Structure formats: C-alpha cells, structure tokens
Chains A and B, each alone.
Chain A
Amino acid sequence: DSGVTQTPKHLITATGQRVTLRCSPRSGDLSVYWYQQSLDQGLQFLIQYYNGEERAKGNILERFSAQQFPDLHSELNLSSLELGDSALYFCASSAGQGLNVAFFGQGTRLTVV
C-alpha cells in the first residue's frame, strides 16, 4: 500500500461527458502529480501541484483541468470526453522537495464509450 488513494477505481462514461477523478496523497506529501497511461504505453505527465499551486504542466489537454485543495487532496477534471481519452489515470505524491521519490496510487481506469 503506497498510501496514495485514488477514487473511483473504474469509470465508464459516454462521449461528451465530464468526470472528476480524485486523489488523496500520502500523509505529509505536498506534491501531487497526475499521469496518463494509454494502451500499455508509457506514463505521460499531465500536471503537478505543490501545496495548492500549479508547479508544472505537461501534455495536458485544454479539456482537462486539475486542482489541489487546502487539505492537499487533488482532483482531475476531464470534460467533453472523447473515445481517445480512455486510459489509466494515475496520481502520485511526493514530499516535493529535493530528490523525490513519487509514490503512486492504484489508478483510475476510465473507459469512454
């Protein structure tokens, strides 16, 4: 158990819909990262938050947004969903300073039909 909790584990939704994925980081971790893994490919970095503020942005679509709340949990919002958005979405957390090891949650499998 990494200590990072993601909900829900599975999500099936229709094209055009909007979903919210939730992540609770490990206790004490200030950084939260979101990654997308499509079709057994590599992990694509989407976005990072540190202590409530956006720290880095990767290949995140404009239809996607995220935020980190004062209690440090984070949400990834995916809107106007397309079939190609079907993927595993992972959240990871780290202390956020220095040489970090990021610990991953179990992921949310999103299926867009």
Chain B
Amino acid sequence: DQQVKQNSPSLSVQEGRISILNCDYTNSMFDYFLWYKKYPAEGPTFLISISSIKDKNEDGRFTVFLNKSAKHLSLHIVPSQPGDSAVYFCAASSPTSTDKLIFGTGTRLQVFP
C-alpha cells in the first residue's frame, strides 16, 4: 500500500524554466510534508517542508504547495538550474503518531542547458 505516490518517474526541464514535481498521498492523518533531493551515491538532503496548517511555503527558488482537499502537494523550482538535476522524493509524516517519514518513489529531474 503506497501511501505517498509520485506518479512521474522523470521530468526534463530547460534551464531557467520552472520545474514542477508532484506528489499525492492517501493517508488523511499525514500532517507534515517534506521534499528531499538525492544525488547518486549520497544520502537524501532536506529541501523544504510544509505543515498541514499552511498551503504554501517558500524558500528561495523552492516553493511547496499543499492542497489538503485533493491530498496533493507540489514542489516548484524557479528558475531551474543544471545543479538541480537529481532525484526528488516527497515524504509525509504524522507527528501525532510516530513521526516516521513515509517516502514516495521519487522523480528524477534533469535540467538541461
């Protein structure tokens, strides 16, 4: 039972344009959502998070949007840079229970010049 889903395994975007990565979840108990970036042979690196009381959180070029009614979140990267090329994982947790993170399967982003 995949509680966190990233339906696009890959995304290719031109440098300078917007990258939009999507994530859906099924468990309505999730109330904290995070995005991680992962380069090959390295551990995931935390990017940005959002709690369920908000619908948007911004940090520089990265913005996460949360639509609770649709159980959907997205990560926007503007402008995209070649160094953003990596695998992006969304994760969700329910801190009121055990706070473990449940991850999606990841989206490989490639930013080309």
Give chain B residues whose Cβ lies under 8 Å from the Cβ of A101.
34, 46, 49
Chain A residue with the shortest CB-CB distance to B105 = A42
* B16 interface residue (CB < 8 Å to A): no
The answer to whether B44 and A99 touch across the interface, beta carbons within 8 angstroms, is no
* B79 interface residue (CB < 8 Å to A): no
* Nearest CB in chain B: distance from A95 CB, A: 10
Tell whether A43 pairs with B95 under 8 Å between CB atoms, given A2-B45, A99-B51, A107-B43: no
* A94 interface residue (CB < 8 Å to B): yes
8 A Cβ contacts from A68-104 to B: 90, 92, 94, 96-104
Interface size class of A (residues with CB under 8 A): 20 to 34
Q: Pick the residue among A42, A48, A58, A106 that contacts B43 (CB under 8 A).
A: A106
* B32 interface residue (CB < 8 Å to A): yes
8 A Cβ contacts from A30-60 to B: 31, 33, 35, 40-45, 48, 55-56, 58
Tell whether A45 pairs with B43 under 8 Å between CB atoms, given A99-B49, A99-B95, A101-B49: no
Q: Pick the residue among B41, B98, B101 that contacts A102 (CB under 8 A).
A: B101
The answer to whether B100 and A48 touch across the interface, beta carbons within 8 angstroms, is yes
Give chain B residues whose Cβ lies under 8 Å from the Cβ of A21.
none
Chain A residue with the shortest CB-CB distance to B87 = A40
Chain A residue with the shortest CB-CB distance to B31 = A99
B32-62 Cβ-contact flags toward A at 8 Å (1 or 0): 1010100001111110010100000000000
Q: Pick the residue among B43, B51, B87, B93 that contacts A104 (CB under 8 A).
A: B43
Tell whether A90 pairs with B43 under 8 Å between CB atoms, given A99-B49, A101-B34: yes
12 A-B pairs within 8 Å (CB atoms) are namely A35-B103, A42-B89, A45-B101, A45-B103, A55-B98, A90-B43, A92-B101, A97-B99, A98-B95, A102-B101, A103-B46, A104-B44
Binding site for A on B (CB under 8 A): 32, 34, 36, 41-46, 49, 51, 87, 89, 91, 93, 95, 98-106
